[in-house]
Structure 1
Amino acid sequence: MMCGAPSAAQPATAETQNIADQVRSQLEEKENKKFPVFKAVSFRSQVVAGTNYSIKVHVGDDEFVRLRVFRSLPHENKPLTLSDYQTNKAKHDELSYF
């Protein structure tokens, strides 16, 4: 992968699920609701001065959300940040950068 270029969409991994789990409370606070399910389905990553992750998450029924999460460089020792998100997505919606 080239620095700055987003990766192709790929199935979520245990690491992807862990990243999603770490920002779940940030999303639930912003949306003022608890999600009954929170299962990462697919993701893309982009190396910048850290890493941006775009993650599609199943949140129950036929509803999906897209998360954009930023992981800073290790030496900065900062928590993961939910940079942006989109709700009311469907399973077939493409995981594009937003």
Structure 2
Amino acid sequence: MMPGGLSDTKPATPEVQQLVNQVKSQFESRANMNCVTFTAIVYRTQVVAGTMYYIKVQVSEAEYVHLKVFQPLPCENQGPSLENFQTGKNRDDPLTYF
């Protein structure tokens, strides 16, 4: 991985699911959606002044969204924030920079 570049795609971990859970309400508000299912599937990271997470999230049986979540450095004492998202994705869409 080159500095500032995206990591390889990895299976979601419990820690990534926790990030997704923390930004779910931000996503639902901004996307005007209520999501019963909100399961992290895979993710990529980018090291910035903190960590940017690109996460594929399943929101229904056949619908996925891509989230861009920023996790500040621990010294900032701030939780994760939803920076951007893409809707209308499917299981096979690759996670890319957006």
TM tier relative to shorter chain: over 0.9
CA distance in 2, matches of 1:6, 1:33: 28
| Structure 1, unpaired ranges of 5+ | none
Residue of structure 2 equivalent to 1:46: 46
Q: SS of 1:60's equivalent?
A: coil
Q: What TM-score do you get using the length of structure 1 for normalisation?
A: 0.95
What is the identity percentage for the equivalent residue pairs of Structure 1 and Structure 2? Answer: 47
| Structure 2, unpaired ranges of 5+ | none
User: Over aligned residue pairs, what C-alpha RMSD do you find?
Assistant: 1.0
Deviation at 1:13, TM superposition (A): 0.5
CA distance in 2, matches of 1:76, 1:36: 31
CA distance in 1, matches of 2:89, 2:33: 16
Q: What TM-score do you get using the length of structure 2 for normalisation?
A: 0.95
Q: Which runs of 4+ in 1 moved over 6 A?
A: none
- What code does the residue aligned with 1:95 have? L
Residue of structure 2 equivalent to 1:9: 9
Residue of structure 1 equivalent to 2:65: 65
Contact map agreement 1:3 1:48 (CA 8 A) in 2:
no
